[in-house]
Copies of this chain bind each other. A is one copy, B any other.
């Protein structure tokens, strides 16, 4: 029994059409399904029928974040654990989301809605999009950046430590790296696979969604992504650069509805079964978030440490 991977993210979009155009034209996602107030998209390397849902809403943020579990029977066990930890579980019928089997929904300790599901239809691409690479869902997308696959989410939370422990204890995530500033837990990076994080929590005095990240084919394509964003008049909030934590290459920007998006590549993998979380402190700040490259100012109101408030050098 395990959480296997990040499945999809549903973003609330005050400007739905502009957000769709951005993710389709600039990020290079494929439109897989369209409803009245909703778009379903995925990257060319995503096997699932969709990995991003854009939904009309008054405020930006994540409507829900969905992880896939290994097996349908895992849902009951995780539901039991979630309820035992004091949180409600809502069951979704198969098809409540298109192509998806039974699912459960629940709020995280920071109030963010999450979902677990076991079954999701895989994409069925038309013949002219099939790649001779049989281990690739379809040909690369030439439009815009052409990101490869969904990678991770990052959530602001006022209770980073509580969120991290809850995801470890209830959902079997592994704590991989953490940022502790002036003794306060400021950031936590957790994963269920060898990548450093499918989810991170970053200190802020209220809950709000930070960003969703899509991975490029590889690090050779980061510079082209920066060109493409700039030529589409997108402001680069941070990057191109190289994180310390996760060691990944990154570019940050905001999509038109106001949600931050990270274009991601590189990084390192954790294969060691006895991995001990890496702890970074205020002394490591010059390297922790931005090993090199343009950092970004944080929009959140970080409560516990001035070290984090400082602009990146």
Query: Which residues of A come within 8 Å of B, CB atoms?
Result: 2, 4-6, 45, 47, 68-71, 131-136, 139-140, 142-144, 177, 193-196, 217-221, 223-224, 226-231, 233, 236, 240-242, 244-247, 249, 265-266, 268-269, 271-273, 278-280, 284, 286-287, 291-295
A-B contacts besides A135-B196, A230-B287, 20 pairs, CB < 8 Å: A4-B272, A6-B271, A68-B273, A70-B273, A132-B287, A133-B287, A135-B278, A140-B227, A142-B143, A193-B271, A218-B220, A218-B266, A219-B223, A220-B224, A221-B224, A223-B242, A226-B293, A227-B291, A230-B291, A240-B292
User: For residue A195, which residues in chain B have a CB less than 8 angstroms away from its CB?
Assistant: 194, 269
Select from chain B the residue with minimum beta-carbon distance to A3. B273
Please give, as numbers and ranges, the residues of chain B lying within 8 Å of A245 by CB-CB distance. Answer: 135
Please provide the 3 A-B residue pairs with the shortest distance between their CB atoms, ordered closest to farther.
A5-B271, A294-B294, A4-B273
Q: With A135-B268, A220-B224 known to touch, is A293 a contact of B291 (CB < 8 Å)?
A: no
**Which residue of chain B lies nearest to A4 when distances are taken between CB atoms in the complex?**
B273
Residue contact A231 to B132, C-beta cutoff 8 Å: yes
Contact between chains at B227 and A292 (CB < 8 Å): yes
On chain B, the residues within 8 Å of A194 by CB distance are 193-195
Q: Cβ of B231 and Cβ of A272 under 8 Å apart?
A: no
Contact A218 B219 (CB under 8 A): yes
Question: Shortest CB–CB separation between residue A1 and chain B, in angstroms?
Answer: 11
Do A132 and B271 have beta carbons less than 8 Å apart? no
B140→A272 contact, CB < 8 A: no
A151 to nearest B CB, angstroms? 10
Residue of B nearest to A286 (CB): B132
Alpha-carbon gap, A193 to B247, bound state (A): 19
**B residues near A47, Cβ cutoff 8 Å:** 272
Q: A131 contacts B223, CB within 8 Å?
A: no
Contact of A220 among B220, B230, B294 (CB under 8 A): B220
**Chain B min CB distance to A150 (Å):** 10
A229 to B292, CA, bound (A): 10
Are B143 and A292 interface neighbours, CB within 8 A? no
- Contacts A218-B219, A240-B293, A287-B132 given; indicate if A5 touches B273 (C-beta within 8 A): yes
**Cβ of A31 to closest chain B Cβ, rounded Å:** 17
Q: Tell me the smallest distance from the CB of A73 to a CB of chain B, in Å.
A: 12
Residues in B neighbouring A135, C-beta threshold 8 A: 177, 196, 244-247, 268, 278
CB nearest to A144 among chain B residues: B142
Q: How far is the CA of A233 from the CA of B131 in the complex (A)?
A: 10
Chain B's closest residue to A146 (CB) is B142
Q: A58: shortest Cβ distance to chain B, in Å?
A: 30
- Whole-angstrom distance between the alpha carbons of A6 and B193 in the complex? 16
**A137–chain B nearest beta-carbon distance, Å:** 10
Q: Which residues of B contact A2 (CB under 8 A)?
A: 273
Q: B residues within 8 A CB of A279? A: 134
A231 and B131 form a contact (CB under 8 A): yes
